[in-house]
Amino acid sequence: MRFLSVCACAVALFGSFASVEAEEAKAEKVSVFNAGELVVPADFKRVQPQSRILEHEFQAKAGDGDDAATARLTMMGAGGDVGANIQRWKGQFVGGDPAKQKVEEMKLGDWKVHLVDVSGSYAERTGGGPFAGGKVVNRKDYAMAGAILVNPEGRKYFLKLIGPGKVVKANREAFVKMIKSLDD
């Protein structure tokens, strides 16, 4: 009987390790300027980018089922001054808890990373892009976890997780873990 208990424990333990390995195997790797790689969480589902300027787009959920709330994760190479881009991102939101609006900087190897958290009512531009016309739709109780990755040559890569505040909050830790995978 004792032998069976030990075997059952070993099978359960091995099964949990196999489960973790299977989850890691599902994670997708995304190249950043052929100079680094991000490991996208397995729960983030790749979708067709809504704009041609985006290199990659994923969908993050909070909850189960087809009707679960989702947020967009967009990825693209871009330019411009880091501070000006962060101000533009912040300017897309009105209201929100000032204590939760923050910018952090970190080094990951030779990369400099700017993490941005902002929330409130989001002025989403549909059509036309960020600097052109287009209809503006105000989304209440939205949030963004964003990152600007700057490589040693000064090239910039933008990542933004935008959606209902509860979805962004539920996925922020996975988003940051993805950013930190650049250093692995």
Q: Does domain 27-183 have CATH number 3.40.1000?
A: yes
Render pLDDT for 158-183 as a digit per residue (tens, 0 to 9): 999 999 999 999 999 999 999 999 98
- Residue 112: other Cβ atoms inside 10 A: 17
Please report the pLDDT score of residue 34 as a whole number. Answer: 84
Please report the pLDDT score of residue 127 as a whole number. Answer: 66
Q: What is the mean pLDDT of residues 7-11?
A: 45
Please report the pLDDT score of residue 63 as a whole number. Answer: 85
Q: What is the mean pLDDT of residues 57-77?
A: 93
The vertex-56 CA angle with 103 and 161, nearest 5°, equals: 30
